[in-house]
Structure 1
Amino acid sequence: MSLCKSIGARLGLGSIFFIAPFFAWAEDNALHPSLQNPDLWSYGADPYGSKVITGDSLIKDGAARIAFERAPKPAADRNTWIELIYHAPDGHLGGTQAVRITYQCSEALLMKFSQRDFGEDGDNSYAHYQTLLPAAEDWKTVTVSLADFSRPAWTPATSNDVGLILENVSAIYLAPALDDSQGGHATLNVKSIEILTAAD
């Protein structure tokens, strides 16, 4: 007789009482395919005092789990930043029609496309196409279409808008929308992120 059956028989509850919760726990903590390659996930923070907190592992208990302490703006011409990064499995987002994400975030969440035209290999504006998702205390699944993305209001006039070129987008940045001037604390958990193509 198995241990579960033995204990269940003694208590008059049957083994299923013990087995069902175990399988429910295992299902809840199973890794989505987007989380199964840890090399596709990273994070970053500015050199002005912001901190990233992950514990002993970024991916655990069925999700990417991270906390941020964003420092206040250090000067008029400098800004702080924090981000969780999902690198495109194919190296780019060519063919993408939408992005579906299941997440929890203590603040509204910025989703940005890291497009090289606006980064260090481009105009250095870092005014990437982005969209804002609502804060979510419980798990929330959102499908974001390309039409939902736009460049931020602070985009400098010197940055030439070449449009959203998905072949030039290598990663999706996720950043809690903390106050630029004051900074603050935020937690972010991501259970899955899916890059949807026309075939999906």
Structure 2
Amino acid sequence: QPQQQQQKAADPFAALSGNSRTASPFQFQQSVKPPASPAVPQSAASLLGGDDEWTFSSSLPAQPQQPQSNTVTVIDSSVKAVFHVSRPAGANDYLAIDARISNKTPQPISDFTLQLAVTKAFSLQLQPQSGRNLSPSQVDGIKQAIRLQGVTPGKGSAVRMRWRASYVIGGQPREESGEVSNLGVL
């Protein structure tokens, strides 16, 4: 009689396999059909069984991302130009740049002009400079708001910007130019 009780006991793994099994693994019968063609999963869902009750999850470390704002020193000579670059909330196609120009010399600077250019994939909207003259050792004496259009999220590091600054210091005209290859913002 103990053998009959074993035969009537349910297979504890039957719910996991999805196959209906008889009471004993030795009495289990399965019809095996050869596949018509080699089984090649077409997607991750079919690879993981798609119809089963299992849900896989994982927790990976966050990808290192560039910040939503950054400060870039563009010019650092007699004149210092600093760009505060940010992506405003909800801005999916542009970056905002707040340019601040300072005089690092004990002499006044006059006729300051800042020109910018970007590659054809992007465009610039420059607000007028707050002025053209800097007093000796004046910090953030000239300000300019700049909008860099066409920069979708994740593409901020792809922007290349050229700049040219001209000014007069001590009665001598000066001109400087350069390139910013990475604004450091998503």
Q: State the TM-score, normalized to the length of structure 1.
A: 0.27
Q: Which has the larger radius of gyration?
A: 2
Q: State the TM-score, normalized to the length of structure 2.
A: 0.28
* Greater relative CO, 1 or 2 (CA 8 Å, sep 6+): 1
